Structure 1
Amino acid sequence: MGGRISEDDLATVTTLRASVMRLARRLRHQRVEHTLSSTEMQVLATLSRTGPATPGELARQEHVQPPSMTRIIALLEDKGLVRRDPHPQDRRQVLVIATEPAAEILEQSRRLRDAWLADLVGELTEEEWALVRSAAPVLERLAQL
């Protein structure tokens, strides 16, 4: 887009931000009953998406300080949801790996959220759903920038 943003575009940005935040909050409430914090769930989701990672890599990906990530990993390890394995190339490092119970929690949570969102989408008109379908890749790109 570049350059100066118009007042109309700024209003759209504001609406988009508020709407995405409300929808994300509502999605967070559609979760499987468990004792995990949203941060712990996010770390498990990151491990599921990216595979094994060092604590430092996880801290960078989750935008938290390394000591905070160390505490989160310890909590997840105590719950049997991650394990620490020796790093294959650097013996000073460990790799954090999600366990099978973690994968089951994530899958159950995704199914529940997808079902909730599918019900919600069922309330849209065909035209609105077509717009959402075409906007989804753009929203994904924004989330990756």
Structure 2
Amino acid sequence: MGTFRLARRLRNERANDELSDGQFSVLGGLYTHGPHTLSGLAERDHVSAPSMNRTVNCLEEEGYLTRITDPRDKRRVTIELTDAGTAVVKETVKKRDAWLHHQLRALDPADRETLAKAADLMRRLATQ
């Protein structure tokens, strides 16, 4: 349960408080994995294509992403981050890192060492 609470607390650190978790997930995914089709985004986030289309429409209206039509196949559209989308992702990551850094510095060295060992164990579990 503590892991979920920590994740929820970190998600609260955003550059734009009006973005939902789902919207930020799309922006973060495009930042990390590059341009995607709408169906690719929907599959990655485990949502329906119509649901992803609503999310993408909203983010496009806010100027965070854009749709690029394939010049060879006009039916194929790729979704990419704009400079504003990249900036909101970078600023959010910066805010989350700063919050976490501040919280970790407040711990005593023994607790930080315990967390480092636990993080290593969790990484190993995640790769199995």
Task: Tell me the TM-score normalised to structure 2 length.
Answer: 0.86
Question: What is the aligned residue count?
Answer: 128
1:49 is matched with which residue?
Answer: 32
- Report matched runs for 1:1-145 at 5 Å: 18-87=1-70, 91-140=74-123
Pairwise CA RMSD of aligned residues?
A: 2.2
Q: Distance in 2 between matches of 1:64 and 1:142?
A: 26
Q: Is the 8 A contact 2:16 2:88 kept in 1?
A: no
1:144 CA drift (Å): 6.9
1:54-101 C-alpha deviation (Å, 9 max, x unpaired) = 111100111111110011111111111111112477543211001110
1:79–1:142 CA distance, 2 compared to 1 (3 A): farther
List runs of 5+ in structure 2 lacking aligned partners: none
Corresponding position of 1:3: none
Q: Supply the AA of the counterpart residue of 1:25.
A: R
Specify which structure has the bigger relative contact order, considering alpha-carbon pairs within 8 angstroms and separated by 6 or more residues. Answer: 2
Q: TM-score, normalized by length of structure 1?
A: 0.77
Letter in 1 for 2:79: V
User: Secondary structure at 2:78's aligned position in 1?
Assistant: strand
* SS of residue in 1 equivalent to 2:113: helix
Residue type at the aligned position of 2:45: E
More displaced, 81-90 or 45-54?
81-90
In structure 1, runs of 5+ residues without a counterpart are 1-17
Could you report, residue by residue, the CA deviation over 1:101-144 in whole angstroms, capped at 9, with x for unpaired residues? 01111111111111111111112222322232343354356567
Q: Which amino acid aligns with 1:123?
A: A
